Amino acid sequence: MQTKVLVVEDEPDLLDLIEYNLSQAGFQVFRSTNGLDALEMIRKKKPDLVVLDLMLPGLNGKEVCLRLRADGETRNLPIVMLTAKAEEVDRIVGFEIGADDYLTKPFSHRELILRIRAVLKRSQGEATQPVSLHFPGLIIDPDRHRVEIQGDEIDLTATEFKLLIHLAGRAGRVQTREMLLDEVWGYPYEGYARTVDTHIRRLRKKMGPQKEYIETIRGVGYRFREKAQA
């Protein structure tokens, strides 16, 4: 069965080009040119992933992303965001609102396909998931894609969940940003260190009182403590 990808882009020529390249790569492609139509198509077509332009007429990509993350049926839907804005702050905003990955225009279509496949791999999980991980005040259950903080479930995106599992499964060991990009995101380090930092910050925020499990090793990366600091 073909993987279904919805492309939301208001530039006709670029939309045609993305559709052609993704179709050639074996994806079943649906297309939309505005945010409201995209939300309706997601409800009807149930795509496996959305390629979402940030600057859309009417309902922009940021609002579409926020609505998808607020809906129980789509909160884990993988999203690759596209934008003409290349400033670091715009990339961070894209991750803060729940995008799984981010590309700035102009971009290589080969790179887009690689990113899509990497995000899909993260969202579908590995062939063999680790067993449940238990720490004081924290339970990570890969089988049910569930994380509990002091008995309350928290919602994580596919990328956040895989990042947490990767760190927690290697408790006590330092993980460099390069290692995390390669293992969690599925592509090598090429100046994307802020991608890791932004996701760590968002993950810590969701973990609330247990955020101290994730320790910053200045100048190196991150380490998961076996017991959070009081």
pLDDT band of residue 184 (cuts 50, 70, 90) is: confident
What share of the chain in percent tops pLDDT 70?
88
177 and 117 in a common domain: no
Residue type, 24: Q
Whether 115 is covered by a domain: the verdict is: yes
93 and 10 in a common domain: yes
pLDDT on residue 204: 94
pLDDT on residue 192: 66
- Listed in sequence order, the DSSP H helices in the chain are 12-24, 35-45, 61-70, 88-96, 109-124, 158-168, 177-180, 193-207
Report in angstroms the alpha-carbon separations of 143 from 126, 161, 199: 11, 12, 22
d(CA 105, CA 113): 14
38 and 104 in a common domain: yes
67 and 109 in a common domain: yes
Last residue of a domain, one of 100, 124, 148: 124
Whether 204 is covered by a domain: the verdict is: yes
pLDDT band of residue 72 (cuts 50, 70, 90) is: confident
144 and 202 in a common domain: yes
209 and 108 in a common domain: no
Whether 230 is covered by a domain: the verdict is: no
140 and 114 in a common domain: no
Total domains, the chain: 2
pLDDT on residue 132: 85
Q: What is the mean pLDDT of residues 152-164?
A: 89
193 and 88 in a common domain: no
Instruction: Return the H-helix or E-strand segment holding 216.
Output: strand 214-217
pTM above the 0.75 mark? Answer: no
Whether 68 is covered by a domain: the verdict is: yes
pLDDT on residue 128: 45
User: Residue 142 above 60 pLDDT?
Assistant: yes
117 and 139 in a common domain: no
Whether 143 is covered by a domain: the verdict is: yes
195 and 106 in a common domain: no
Domain hosting 26: range is 4-124
103 and 39 in a common domain: yes
Whether 100 is covered by a domain: the verdict is: yes
